[in-house]
Amino acid sequence: MNNGFTKKFIPVREFKHNPDRLNVLSSGGGTQSNAIICLIHAGVLPKPDIIVMSDTEREASNVFTYQREHIAPLCEEMGVEYHIVQKSRYATYDLVGPNKEAPLPGYFTEYTGRDKNGNCSGRQPAFCSDKWKVDVIHRFLNERYGELNLRRRGVDMWLGISIEEAARRMKITTGKWQKRYPLIEMLMTKQMAIQCVEDYGLPTPPPSLCWMCPNRDDDLWLYMKNHVPEDFQKACDHEKEIQEMWPHLWLTKYGVPLAEAPLKPSGGKNTQMDMIQFMDTGGSGRMCANGNCFT
Ligand code: SF4
C-alpha cells in the first residue's frame, strides 16, 4: 500500500465533524465512498462511529466481492465497524410500493406512447432508493442505537459526493438525520477521490448498481453484458417478470427486450466511473453508486 498522496493530502478546507452526534458513513460502494474510507484510514478524515451500506439484494454480483476484499480490511484495520445491511431485514416493500399500480424503480414506459425514434417517451417515478436504502439504513441504525437515543443525539450521515456534484446536494439539512458531504466540505474533486483510491492500490470499483437498474446507460448495460453475463441474464428475466404485471414497462428507453436492445457504446467518451457518477437519470435513483440516491 502506498500512502503517498492520501497521507500527505492537506485539504483546502477541513471537514469538521460533530462528535456529539452519531457519525455514520453511508457508503454507496462507489469511488467517492471508497475514497472517504481511504482518507479515514490515512488520518485525513476523522473516524465515523460506523460505516453502513445497504444491500438491495439485487446488487451487481461483483460489488460485495470488491467490498469484502478491498474495503472491509481497511475498516477492520482502523477499527471502524462496517455493516452491509440486507434490505429484506428492514424494508417493507420490494418491487411494489405503497401504490400497487406501479413498481418502485424508475422503469421506462410506453404508456404515454413513443417518441419519433420509437423509444419510450416516459419514465416511472423512482422510489426504490428511498425504500431499499434510506429506510433500510435508518431502521438498522434505530434498532442498533435506539430510536429515542438517536432522536435526542441526532445523526450525521456522511455521503460520498465530490465538488462537481455540489449542486445536487441537499443544502439545508436539519433534524434527526442530517446530511454531511466530507469531500465537498474539503473542496475535493472526483479526480482527487480517484487518486486517493489508486494511491491505496485499490482497483476501480465495479459499477455499484442493481443489476436491473433502469438508470444504466448503454455503456453500463454493455459492460454488464460483456463482463457479467449472469447478471445480464437476470436483468433480461426480470424485464419479462415485470411485464407480466406491467406490460408497458421496459428496462431501457428502446422499449424492446433487453437482449435485443440496440445498445451503443459511447466510444470511450465516458470512463466507467464517469458513467456511474454522472448519470443523469432524474428522480431518487440518480447516482446510486456514490450514495446520493439514499440521502
Ligand atoms: S436507483 Fe437503481 S441502483 Fe438505486 S436502488 Fe433503484 S434500482 Fe437499485
Listing DSSP states for 51-104 in one string gives EEEEE-S-B-TTHHHHIIIIIHHHHHHHT--EEEEEHHHH-S-SSB-SSTTSBS
**Which residue's CA lies nearest to atom 1 of ligand 1?**
285
Q: Give the distance (Å) from ligand 1 centre to CA of residue 42.
A: 31
Residue 115 has pLDDT above 60, yes or no: yes
Grade residue 24 by pLDDT with cuts at 50, 70 and 90: very high
Q: Are the CB atoms for 132 and 56 separated by under 8 Å? A: yes
SS3 26: strand
Bridge pairing between strands 22-26 and 108-114: unpaired
Please choose, from the candidates 15, 12, 29, 5, the residue with its C-alpha nearest in 3D space to the C-alpha of residue 83: 29
In a domain, 289, yes or no: no
CA gap 169, 292 in Å, rounded: 8
CA separation for the pair 71, 19 (Å, rounded): 24
Cβ–ligand 1 contact at 95 (below 6 Å): no
Average confidence (pLDDT) over 196-213: 89
> Does ligand 1 lie within 6 Å of residue 160's CB atom?
no
Note whether residue 29 is domain-resident. Answer: yes
What order of strands is seen across the sheet that includes strand 82-86?
82-86, 50-55, 22-26, 155-158, 177-180
Stretch among 22-36, 124-138, 179-193, 267-281 having the lowest mean pLDDT: 267-281
Tell me what pLDDT residue 192 has: 92
56 lines ligand 1 (CB under 6 A): yes
- Cα–Cα distance, 145 to 105 (Å, whole number): 30
User: In this structure, is residue 290 part of a structural domain?
Assistant: no
Nearest CA to ligand 1 atom 8: 210
Q: Do the beta carbons of residue 268 and residue 111 sit within 8 Å?
A: no
* Domain of residue 126, residue span: 4-281
The number of folded domains in the chain is 1
Could you tell me if residue 201 is inside a domain?
yes
Q: Whose CA is nearest to atom 2 of ligand 1?
A: 213
Query: What digits encode the pLDDT tens for the residues 234-249?
Result: 999 999 999 999 999 9
Establish if 183 belongs to a structural domain: yes
Closest ligand 1 atom, residue 215 Cα: 2
The per-residue pLDDT for 68 is: 94
For residue 126, report the distance from its CA to the centre of ligand 1, in Å.
8
288 found inside a domain: no
* Residue from 87, 209, 211 whose mutation best tests the ligand 1 pocket (most atoms within 8 A of CB): 209
Helix 229-245 and helix 218-227: axis angle, to 10°? 120
For residues 105 and 76, what is the distance between their CA atoms, to the nearest angstrom?
Answer: 34
Q: How far is the CA of 170 from the centre of ligand 1 (A)?
A: 19
- Among protein residues, the one whose CA lies closest to atom 5 of ligand 1: 129
Q: Which amino acid is at 242?
A: I
Ligand 1 pocket test, pick from 26, 220, 286, 293 with the greatest ligand atom count within 8 Å of Cβ, gives 293
Contact status, residue 120 vs residue 255, Cβ threshold 8 Å = yes
Output b/e per residue, 84-101; b: 16+ Cβ within 10 A. Answer: bbebeebbebbbebeeee
Cα separation, 124 vs 108, in Å, equals 6
The per-residue pLDDT for 2 is 56
| pLDDT for position 3 | 59
In the block, cell 477541513 appears at: 14
Q: Whose CA is nearest to atom 6 of ligand 1?
A: 128
Query: How would residue 265 be classed by pLDDT, with cut points 50, 70 and 90?
Result: very high
Task: Please identify, by atom number, the ligand 1 atom nearest to the C-alpha of residue 129.
Answer: 5
- How much distance in Å is there from the Cα of 8 to the middle of ligand 1? 36
pLDDT digits (tens, 9 = 90+) for 68-95: 999 999 999 999 999 999 999 999 999 9
Calpha distance 252→255 (Å, rounded): 6
Q: Kindly report the CATH number assigned to the domain that includes residue 232.
A: 3.40.50
Choose among 133, 139, 132, 140: nearest CA to 159. Answer: 133
Share above pLDDT 70 across residues of the chain, in percent, rounded to a whole number: 89
In a domain? residue 188: yes
Q: What are phi and psi of 69, to 5 degrees?
A: -80, -35
Tell me whether residue 293 is in a domain.
no
Q: What is the pLDDT of residue 281?
A: 36
